[in-house]
């Protein structure tokens, strides 16, 4: 089915071009959006009767189903020759494609990250269930906001249009602001939510203004058209000013979301104040989406300007790497410490983006996969040690944890060592490929800085490990028999298993990542040919609706096959 | 059939995982049975794969499981490489492991860490199989480190005793030196060939420059002497006997210590193109190690120490075989040695078990009546090691000596002397333990029996008492005697071990008797092993060109040497015709003072050297590190000040950052 059927309704007297939509391609998004909305509906109807276990189950299932619906997309993009679920290779052409008139891209990059986000939501929901059960906060908003926020993230990873990217960013962010302020008993939580909101709105304005400037410079917000325009027109001197300033502002906006120095200052305060389970989500999914946006905009969309934006990213990377590691050294609060360490991780991922190459993008993907599970697992441990009320986060709470709860301390040790980049953990390969990407991109000096900062950062992770194992328990250490909620336990097992699996055999991950390059594909060619009347329309409107998309005059010729037709086409 | 190969290492790994997860809950003896079952299954699969390999035309099977480390040009696969050499290795490794697992169920009975022991054993078998089956040097190195780690854990298994813990440390430190050589060798191979896969670089070894080949061969040789306890890295193996006896049998006699021989055999094409002195170095290292270890073995009183030095000696023979280019004889000796040395260790374990944990041969005697099964099994091991035909050890050792006779007469002379000493020391052990009068009643009479409560308390005092007694008794040379006497309960009599322990003894005894059939010297058609291994060593192995008469003469000569040695041992230690002390000079008792000289060096000039290094480390390196750390911390403190908590400050930061980026972009526009 296609939206273009709507064009047949007699009420529409004027012909408005409606983009052709490949619904199967949007299924993960639809599952997530519906899952969130239905959860709210259920909760408002039967909230008293169902309770937290149901919310958690629902959220995990939504994540897993979204993951499942992404599998046939992966099969289609990769061009597997076997039928996978509802994807049939004989009916649909293989390869990356774009839909909704080219506004949304389905390529290996977006499908892989969609899957990662879906899994992250499931794991985060498990962590959240553990703390809300313990603290007696049985509201539905947490799980529902997780799902809705992740929907925004999924929009961002596939966005082929700057406006769509912005929409995803806002859907993602608005939900996260609320998640940060969720703990009603801690005033710091509300402070965190407000700070995040004010600064987030501030930086969104930069981002949006950047989009406007780019539109002014290229005449489009669609990456398809922008890349086409830049390929046809050589922008020199003053003619490039709008585009360059637009890129600058978009970089600033995205750098805020990934918490790169000097746009990072919100993150320690917000990580510290927000509920720990929300932080696990913020630190993972928000960064996945923001880095995906960065790769799409800079590496794919504006690769012709790489020489201009690479120096900016280099500076951001160095500041984040060194600044994050240095300030983390003097922290005595574990949540703040992890906040700064995640700033340092962002520096590493920036190395991959900065490389502006296939190797670099692969490094970004490997790092994102490894880091997602590392950071969720780490904050899951923190959420347990924080105990009832989620307030015990000083380093003293970890004194002698190895004696009180060896399992928890052991898990945390593995995750921390992985964050430090110790071999046989996923962190090692993540850092390894990032450094390789920097060297390949002729920025060996960046690689040196990265490795030095990794040494500094290793100290702070080891300090935590030493505190847990070689220091006698103090009066803030949890009492023996610290309960580990079952759901959080499952999440931890998953995180540690992934960390070790990737660390021991990175082969499977890298072979997947090798098949997941981001590409911008034009919408199917025959539809452009079928819409001769669209030339007169202003390009912006066309882009927003799906530039060069299908006309509504003759839906039968545009959409002959019913479900899932408009797909395929090589770049 | 051969496709099942991956199961060979996978089964012990599965056993390891099961035991880690549920071993403690299973407890005794279920955990032991699971471990035994997995290794036995692995042995069965090995047999199947081996039969499959025989059916293949070129006798090589490579099974790539998955890509392990993909990093640009540096690509390492997890792959298994089954060829005649690794085929023989997996057969005897899994076979002997299965028997020793079974034995351990009886031996470790009642140990508090019963399931942990089998966790380590299964992990060990897995690592050992990775070592021999790995299709590239890195995988071999991984297995190499894995078996090493298991070995340290198991040496220190009863870590509450400080001696055991320090023995583990000693093994660890010594092996680090060897591992350094191995690693350098691996890097060199990668830089030279661009690949670590055996099937890639071994066929190309012929085109190697001589200096490169020499360097690689020497580095890997350093790795090999560390693992196989050859001079000068031999000190750790005798101390490693602190571990439970099945461990000594499996790891420190039959399998792990032969890894060095395997490694050198594997890289034989590289040794073939290296400088001439490299094989000579290997052969002479082996010969000298064999000779020294044999002399030391003659003077030991600990039943396991004798066998430990004997293992060092036999490994020396294998190195000799490798060095003179008779690779297949080294493998042959490795296999039969695995049979009879595992057997001897298990017999020793059975004796120790029966003697209430006492290991001092001087308190034994006359046990052949009380432990008949153990004694009969021991006989097979004894005659094998002594080199008496037709036991398997005779054929194994003699092939090495025959080739040595052809290649280098001096090596042959050293080998024959060592062989003579072998017959002497193992005869001495046999007579002291199983023959003669029962000496343990005297010791009990002298030291008294102990009630269980006394056992702990008096252990140390008893030791001192024994040392004092003996110092008085035997005049001086016993100052280093460290064989501990365990007080025994009232009414003590040595007893035979349970069937779980004697069954493996019987199987190994049979193998020790018939093991020679693998490769009989006559007729030529019986050279099964040599023919089977031929393709592996093609181009680098020497051919035997001696006339049949010479070979027969050498065989007869060896037999006579072995018989004289045994008779000599009987005369001294059974009949007492000659004073035994004349053959146990302090030099031999103290293992040529090598260990203590090393300790003294480490304690004296070594410590000074370490001290100065340490002070350099403290002042310069630590100073630099602490300085950097201090600067980093101060920088962190300073940067922290920017984190005021005010939103307006943060917004200002974001604004200034954006402005700077914009300004930069302006410069791009203008420029």
Q: A271: pLDDT confidence band, cut at 50, 70 and 90?
A: very high
Q: Do A249 and B662 touch (CB under 8 A)?
A: yes
CA B537 to chain CA centroid, Å, is: 24
Tokens 């210590």 belong to B257
Tell me the range of A12-16, B204-208, B368-372, B425-429 where mean pLDDT is highest: B425-429
Confidence (pLDDT) at A531? 44
Quote the minimal CA–CA distance from A233 to chain B in Å: 16
Q: Out of B633, B650, B658, whose CB is closest to A252? A: B658
Q: Do A256 and B654 touch (CB under 8 A)?
A: yes
Structural domain harbouring A426: 23-514
Residue A436 falls inside a structural domain: yes
Residues B214 and B89 in one domain: no
Residue B73 falls inside a structural domain: no
Question: Which pLDDT tens digit goes with each residue over B314-354?
Answer: 999 999 999 998 888 899 999 999 999 999 988 888 888 87
* Pick among A204, A239, A250, A262 to test the B interface (most B CBs inside 10 A): A262
Tell me the range of A364-373, B23-32, B276-285, B300-309 where mean pLDDT is highest: A364-373
Tokens 């007579």 belong to B431
Q: How far apart are CA B152 and CA B161, in angstroms?
A: 14
Question: Which pLDDT tens digit goes with each residue over B139-180?
Answer: 898 898 888 888 888 887 877 777 777 777 777 777 888 888
Kindly state the average pLDDT of the residues A208-217.
Answer: 93
Closest chain B residue to the Cα of A263, Cα to Cα: B654
Contacts of A433 in chain B (CB under 8 A): 71
Kindly state the average pLDDT of the residues A212-239.
Answer: 87
Residue B143 falls inside a structural domain: no
Contacts of B637 in chain A (CB under 8 A): 330
CA B457 to chain CA centroid, Å, is: 34
Residue A562 falls inside a structural domain: no
Confidence (pLDDT) at B227? 87
Which residues are registered as beta bridge partners of B76?
Answer: B69
Confidence (pLDDT) at A332? 87
Whether A570 shows a pLDDT value over 50: the answer reads no
Residues B628 and B671 in one domain: no
Whether B73 shows a pLDDT value over 60: the answer reads yes
Range scoring the smallest mean pLDDT among A74-78, A187-191, B666-670: B666-670
Assigned token pair, B503: 């069954």
Residues A302 and A277 in one domain: yes
Residues in chain B, how many?
671
Confidence (pLDDT) at B549? 82
Closest chain A residue to the Cα of B77, Cα to Cα: A507
Kindly state the average pLDDT of the residues A154-176.
Answer: 94
Residues A55 and A9 in one domain: no
Residues B636 and B500 in one domain: no
Assigned token pair, A529: 């040919």
Range scoring the smallest mean pLDDT among A39-48, B433-442, B542-551: B433-442
CB atoms within 10 A of CB B607: 12
Kindly state the average pLDDT of the residues A457-473.
Answer: 88
A217 touches chain B (CB under 8 A): no
Q: Is B81 helix (H, G, I), strand (E, B) or coil?
A: strand
Quote the minimal CA–CA distance from B640 to chain A in Å: 6
Residues A536 and A505 in one domain: no
Domain count within chain B: 4
Helix and strand tally (H, E) in chain A? Answer: 23, 2
Confidence (pLDDT) at B461? 46
Could you tell me which residue, B373 or B127, shows the higher pLDDT?
B127
Residue B187 falls inside a structural domain: yes
Question: Which pLDDT tens digit goes with each residue over B16-25?
Answer: 988 888 877 7
Whether A207 shows a pLDDT value over 60: the answer reads yes
Confidence (pLDDT) at A526? 46
Whether B525 shows a pLDDT value over 70: the answer reads yes
Q: B641: pLDDT confidence band, cut at 50, 70 and 90?
A: confident
* Pick among B639, B655, B659 to test the A interface (most A CBs inside 10 A): B639
Kindly state the average pLDDT of the residues B308-313.
Answer: 90
Whether A66 shows a pLDDT value over 90: the answer reads yes
Q: A277: pLDDT confidence band, cut at 50, 70 and 90?
A: very high
Q: Out of B639, B640, B645, whose CB is closest to A269? A: B645
Q: Do B668 and A244 touch (CB under 8 A)?
A: yes
DSSP state of B477: G
Q: B117: pLDDT confidence band, cut at 50, 70 and 90?
A: confident
Confidence (pLDDT) at B205? 81
Domain count within chain A: 2
| Cβ-contact B538, B328 below 8 angstroms | no
Question: Which pLDDT tens digit goes with each residue over A357-404?
Answer: 999 999 999 999 999 999 999 999 999 998 888 888 898 899 989 888
* Residue A186: φ, ψ to 5°: -110, 125
Residues B270 and B293 in one domain: yes
B197-208: b or e for each residue (b if 16 or more CB lie within 10 Å)? bbeebbeebeeb
Residue B145 falls inside a structural domain: no
Residue B45 falls inside a structural domain: yes
Q: A562: pLDDT confidence band, cut at 50, 70 and 90?
A: very low
Assigned token pair, A411: 């898990």
Residue A564 falls inside a structural domain: no
Residues in chain A, how many?
571
Q: How far apart are CA A127 and CA B244, in angstroms?
A: 45
* Residue B62: φ, ψ to 5°: -110, 130
Residue A505 falls inside a structural domain: yes
Find residues 94-123 of chain A whose CB sits inside 8 Å of chain B.
Answer: none
Confidence (pLDDT) at B18? 87
Q: Do A252 and B67 touch (CB under 8 A)?
A: no
| Cβ-contact A418, A503 below 8 angstroms | yes
Q: Do B662 and A456 touch (CB under 8 A)?
A: no
Residues A197 and A285 in one domain: yes
Q: Out of B71, B643, B668, whose CB is closest to A268? A: B643
Whether B34 shows a pLDDT value over 60: the answer reads yes
Whether B362 shows a pLDDT value over 90: the answer reads no
Range scoring the smallest mean pLDDT among A29-43, B370-384, B428-442: B428-442
CA distances from B553 to B333, B419, B556 (A): 20, 16, 5
Assigned token pair, A417: 């060592």
Whether A536 shows a pLDDT value over 60: the answer reads no
Quote the minimal CA–CA distance from B79 to chain A in Å: 13
Whether B445 shows a pLDDT value over 70: the answer reads no
A367 touches chain B (CB under 8 A): no
Q: Out of A202, A245, A456, whose CB is closest to B662? A: A245
Whether A470 shows a pLDDT value over 60: the answer reads yes
Residues B333 and B435 in one domain: yes
Whether A546 shows a pLDDT value over 50: the answer reads no
Residues B193 and B294 in one domain: yes
Find residues 486-525 of chain A whose CB sits inside 8 Å of chain B.
Answer: 505-508, 510-511
Residues B197 and B121 in one domain: no
| Cβ-contact B449, B490 below 8 angstroms | yes
Confidence (pLDDT) at B595? 67
Whether A287 shows a pLDDT value over 70: the answer reads yes
How much of chain A, in percent, has pLDDT values that exceed 90? 53
Q: How far apart are CA A160 and CA A404, in angstroms?
A: 51
Whether A270 shows a pLDDT value over 90: the answer reads yes
Whether A350 shows a pLDDT value over 80: the answer reads yes
Tell me the range of A156-160, B85-89, B626-630 where mean pLDDT is highest: A156-160
Residues A541 and A464 in one domain: no
Q: A162: pLDDT confidence band, cut at 50, 70 and 90?
A: very high
Range scoring the smallest mean pLDDT among A358-367, B167-176, B483-492, B555-564: B483-492
pTM of the entire structure? 0.67
Q: A94: pLDDT confidence band, cut at 50, 70 and 90?
A: confident
Whether A430 shows a pLDDT value over 90: the answer reads yes
Residues A358 and A339 in one domain: yes
Tokens 């490794």 belong to B93
Q: Out of A195, A262, A311, whose CB is closest to B657? A: A262
Question: Which pLDDT tens digit goes with each residue over B430-442?
Answer: 888 888 777 777 7
How much of chain B, in percent, has pLDDT values that exceed 90? 10
Residues B322 and B252 in one domain: yes
Q: How far apart are CA A548 and CA B41, in angstroms?
A: 65
Confidence (pLDDT) at B452? 42
How much of chain A, in percent, has pLDDT values that exceed 70? 89
Question: Which pLDDT tens digit goes with each residue over B91-114?
Answer: 989 999 999 999 888 888 877 888
Assigned token pair, B530: 């040599």
Find residues 247-286 of chain A whose CB sits inside 8 Å of chain B.
Answer: 247-249, 251-252, 255-256, 262-263, 265-266, 268-269
Q: B600: pLDDT confidence band, cut at 50, 70 and 90?
A: low
**A237, burial (CB in 10 Å: exposed 0-12, middle 13-18, buried 19+):** exposed
Whether B496 shows a pLDDT value over 50: the answer reads yes
Q: Do B661 and A508 touch (CB under 8 A)?
A: no
Q: Out of A195, A265, A330, whose CB is closest to B642? A: A265
The DSSP annotation for B164-217 comes to: HHHHHHHHHHHHHHHHHHHHHHHHHHHHHHS--BHHHHTTTGGG--HHHHHHHH
How much of chain B, in percent, has pLDDT values that exceed 70? 84
Size of interface A-B (CB pairs under 8 A): 105
Question: In chain B, which residues touch A (CB < 8 A)?
Answer: 66-72, 78, 629, 632-633, 635-637, 639-640, 642-643, 645, 647, 649-651, 653-654, 656-658, 661-662, 664-666, 668-669
Closest chain A residue to the Cα of B658, Cα to Cα: A252
Q: Indicate the average pLDDT of chain A.
A: 85
Q: How far apart are CA A159 and CA A102, in angstroms?
A: 9
Quick one: which of B320, B642, B367 has its CA closest to B494?
B367
The DSSP annotation for B530-570 comes to: HHHHGGGGTTTSPPP---HHHHHHHHHHHHHHHHHHHHHHI
Q: Do A505 and B66 touch (CB under 8 A)?
A: yes
Confidence (pLDDT) at B504? 86
CB atoms within 10 A of CB A124: 33
Residues A458 and A497 in one domain: yes
* Residue B64: φ, ψ to 5°: -90, 120
Confidence (pLDDT) at B488? 62
Range scoring the smallest mean pLDDT among A187-191, B60-64, B656-660: B60-64
Residues B599 and B528 in one domain: no
Residues A552 and A450 in one domain: no
Range scoring the smallest mean pLDDT among B30-34, B502-506, B639-643, B660-664: B639-643
Residue A561 falls inside a structural domain: no
Kindly state the average pLDDT of the residues A462-478.
Answer: 88
Residues B283 and B409 in one domain: yes
Q: Do A330 and B640 touch (CB under 8 A)?
A: yes
A442 touches chain B (CB under 8 A): no
Confidence (pLDDT) at A383? 93
Residues B56 and B130 in one domain: yes
Structural domain harbouring B6: 1-64+81-135
Assigned token pair, B667: 């410069």
Q: Do B658 and A326 touch (CB under 8 A)?
A: no
Q: How far apart are CA B78 and CA B70, in angstroms?
A: 11
Residues A12 and A42 in one domain: no
Residue A30 falls inside a structural domain: yes
Q: Do B636 and A199 touch (CB under 8 A)?
A: no
Residue A571 falls inside a structural domain: no
Whether B570 shows a pLDDT value over 50: the answer reads yes
Q: Which secondary structure element, helix H or strand E, spans residue B440, and what is its range? A: helix B440-447
Q: Do B665 and A245 touch (CB under 8 A)?
A: yes
Whether B480 shows a pLDDT value over 70: the answer reads no
Residues B470 and B363 in one domain: yes
Quote the minimal CA–CA distance from B137 to chain A in Å: 17
Whether A118 shows a pLDDT value over 50: the answer reads yes
């Amino acid at each position: 089915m296609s939206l273009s059927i709507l064009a047949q309704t007699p009420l529409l007297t004027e012909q408005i071009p409606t983009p052709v939509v490949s619904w199967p391609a949007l299924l993960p998004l639809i599952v997530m959006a519906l899952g969130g909305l239905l959860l709210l509906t259920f909760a408002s109807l039967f909230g008293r009767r169902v309770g937290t276990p149901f919310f958690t189950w629902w959220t995990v299932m939504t994540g897993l189903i979204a993951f499942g619906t992404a599998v046939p997309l992966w099969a289609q993009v990769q061009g597997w020759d076997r039928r996978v679920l509802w994807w049939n290779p004989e009916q649909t052409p293989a390869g990356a494609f774009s839909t909704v008139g080219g506004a949304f891209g389905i390529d290996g990059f977006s499908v892989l990250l969609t899957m990662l986000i879906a899994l992250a939501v499931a794991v985060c929901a498990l962590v959240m269930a553990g703390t809300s059960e313990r603290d007696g906060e049985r509201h539905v908003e947490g799980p529902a906001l997780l799902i809705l926020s992740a929907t925004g993230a999924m929009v961002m990873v596939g966005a082929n249009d700057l406006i769509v990217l912005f929409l995803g960013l806002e859907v993602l962010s608005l939900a996260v602001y609320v998640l940060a302020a969720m703990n009603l008993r801690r005033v710091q939580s509300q402070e965190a939510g407000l700070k995040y909101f004010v600064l987030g709105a501030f930086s969104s304005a930069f981002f949006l203004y950047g989009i406007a400037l780019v539109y002014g410079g290229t005449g489009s917000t669609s990456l398809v058209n922008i890349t086409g325009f830049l390929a046809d027109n050589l922008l020199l001197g003053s003619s490039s000013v709008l585009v360059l300033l637009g890129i600058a502002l978009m970089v600033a906006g995205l750098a805020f979301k990934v918490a790169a120095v000097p746009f990072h200052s919100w993150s320690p305060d917000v990580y510290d104040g927000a509920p720990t389970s929300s932080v696990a989500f913020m630190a993972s999914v928000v960064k996945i989406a923001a880095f995906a946006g960065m790769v799409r905009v800079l590496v794919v969309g504006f690769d012709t300007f790489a020489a201009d934006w690479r120096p900016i990213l280099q500076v951001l990377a160095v500041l984040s790497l060194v600044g994050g590691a240095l300030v983390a050294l003097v922290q005595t609060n574990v949540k703040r410490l992890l906040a700064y360490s995640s700033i340092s991780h962002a520096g590493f991922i920036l190395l991959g983006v900065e490389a502006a190459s296939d190797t670099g993008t692969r490094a970004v993907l490997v790092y994102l996969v490894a880091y997602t599970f590392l950071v969720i697992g780490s904050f899951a441990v923190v959420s347990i040690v924080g105990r009832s009320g989620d307030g015990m986060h000083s380093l003293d709470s970890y004194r002698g944890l190895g004696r009180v709860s060896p399992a928890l301390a052991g898990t945390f040790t593995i995750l921390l060592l992985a964050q430090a980049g110790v071999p046989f953990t996923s962190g090692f390969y993540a850092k390894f490929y990032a450094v390789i990407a920097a060297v390949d991109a002729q920025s060996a000096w960046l690689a040196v800085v990265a490795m030095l900062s990794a040494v500094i950062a290793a100290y702070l992770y080891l300090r935590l490990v030493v505190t847990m194992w070689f220091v006698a328990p103090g009066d803030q250490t949890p009492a023996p028999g610290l309960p580990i909620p079952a759901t959080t336990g499952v999440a931890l097992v998953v995180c540690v298993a992934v960390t070790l699996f990737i660390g021991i055999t990175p082969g499977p991950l890298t072979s997947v990542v090798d098949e997941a390059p981001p590409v911008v594909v034009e919408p199917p060619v025959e539809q452009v040919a079928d819409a001769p009347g669209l030339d007169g329309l202003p390009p912006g409107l066309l882009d927003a609706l799906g530039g060069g998309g299908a006309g509504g005059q003759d839906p039968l010729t545009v959409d002959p096959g019913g479900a899932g037709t408009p797909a395929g086409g090589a770049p | 059939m051969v496709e099942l190969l991956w199961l060979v290492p996978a089964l012990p790994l599965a056993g390891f995982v099961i035991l880690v997860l549920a071993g403690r809950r299973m407890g005794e003896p279920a955990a032991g049975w699971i471990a035994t079952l997995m290794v036995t299954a692995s042995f069965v699969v090995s047999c199947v794969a081996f039969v499959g390999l025989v059916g293949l035309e070129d006798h090589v099977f490579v099974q790539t499981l998955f890509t392990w480390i993909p990093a640009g040009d540096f690509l390492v696969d997890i792959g298994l490489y089954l060829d005649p050499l690794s085929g023989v290795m997996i057969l005897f490794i899994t076979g002997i492991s299965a028997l020793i697992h079974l034995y351990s169920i009886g031996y470790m009975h009642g140990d508090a860490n019963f399931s942990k022991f089998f966790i380590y054993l299964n992990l060990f078998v897995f690592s050992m199989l990775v070592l021999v089956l790995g299709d590239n040097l890195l995988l071999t190195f991984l297995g190499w480190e894995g078996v090493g780690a298991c070995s340290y854990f198991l040496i220190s298994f009863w870590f509450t005793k400080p001696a055991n813990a320090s023995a583990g440390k000693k093994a660890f430190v010594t092996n680090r030196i060897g591992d350094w050589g191995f690693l350098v060798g691996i890097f060199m191979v990668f830089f030279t060939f661009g690949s670590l896969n055996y099937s890639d670089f071994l066929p190309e070894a012929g085109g190697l420059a001589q200096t490169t080949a020499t360097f690689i061969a020497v580095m890997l040789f350093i790795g090999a002497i560390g693992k196989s306890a050859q001079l000068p890295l031999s000190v750790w193996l005798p101390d490693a006997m602190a571990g439970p006896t099945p461990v000594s049998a499996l790891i420190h006699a039959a399998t792990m210590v032969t890894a060095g021989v395997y490694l050198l055999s594997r890289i034989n094409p590289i040794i073939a193109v290296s400088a001439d002195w490299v094989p000579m170095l290997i052969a002479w290292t082996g010969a000298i190690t064999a000779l020294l270890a044999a002399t030391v073995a003659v003077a030991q009183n600990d039943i396991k120490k004798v066998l430990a030095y004997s293992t060092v000696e036999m490994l020396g023979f294998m190195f000799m075989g490798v060095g003179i280019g008779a690779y297949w004889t080294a493998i042959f000796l490795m296999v039969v040695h695995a049979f009879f040395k595992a057997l001897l260790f298990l017999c020793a374990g059975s004796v120790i078990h029966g003697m209430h944990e006492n290991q001092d041969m001087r308190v034994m005697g006359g046990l052949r009546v009380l432990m008949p099964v153990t004694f009969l099994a021991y006989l097979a091991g004894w005659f094998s090691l002594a080199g008496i035909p037709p036991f398997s050890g005779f054929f194994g050792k003699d092939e090495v000596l025959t080739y040595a006779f052809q290649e280098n007469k001096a090596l042959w002379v050293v080998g024959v002397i060592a062989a003579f000493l072998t017959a002497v020391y193992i005869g001495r052990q046999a007579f002291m333990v199983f023959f003669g009068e029962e000496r343990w009643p005297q010791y009990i009479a002298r030291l008294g029996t102990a009630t269980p409560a006394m056992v702990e308390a008096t252990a140390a005092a008893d030791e001192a008492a024994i040392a004092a007694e003996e110092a008085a008794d035997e005049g001086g040379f016993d100052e280093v005697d460290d064989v501990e006497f365990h007080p025994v309960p009232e009414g003590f009599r040595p007893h035979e071990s349970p069937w779980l322990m004697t069954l493996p003894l019987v199987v190994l005894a049979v193998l020790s008797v018939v093991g020679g059939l693998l490769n009989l010297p006559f007729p030529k058609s019986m050279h099964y092993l040599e023919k089977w291994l031929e393709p592996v060593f093609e181009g680098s192995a020497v051919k035997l060109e001696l006339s049949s008469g010479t070979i027969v003469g050498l065989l007869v000569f060896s037999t006579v040497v072995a018989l004289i040695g045994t008779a000599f041992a009987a005369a001294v230690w059974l009949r007492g015709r000659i004073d035994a002390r004349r053959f146990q000079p302090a030099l031999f008792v103290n293992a040529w003072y090598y260990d203590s000289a090393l300790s003294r060096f480490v304690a004296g000039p070594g410590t000074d050297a370490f001290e100065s290094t340490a002070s350099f480390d403290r002042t310069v390196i630590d100073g630099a590190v602490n300085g950097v750390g201090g600067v980093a911390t101060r920088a962190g403190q300073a940067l922290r000040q920017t984190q005021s908590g005010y939103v307006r400050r943060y917004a200002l930061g974001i604004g200034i950052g954006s402005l700077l980026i914009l300004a930069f972009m302006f410069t791009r526009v203008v420029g």
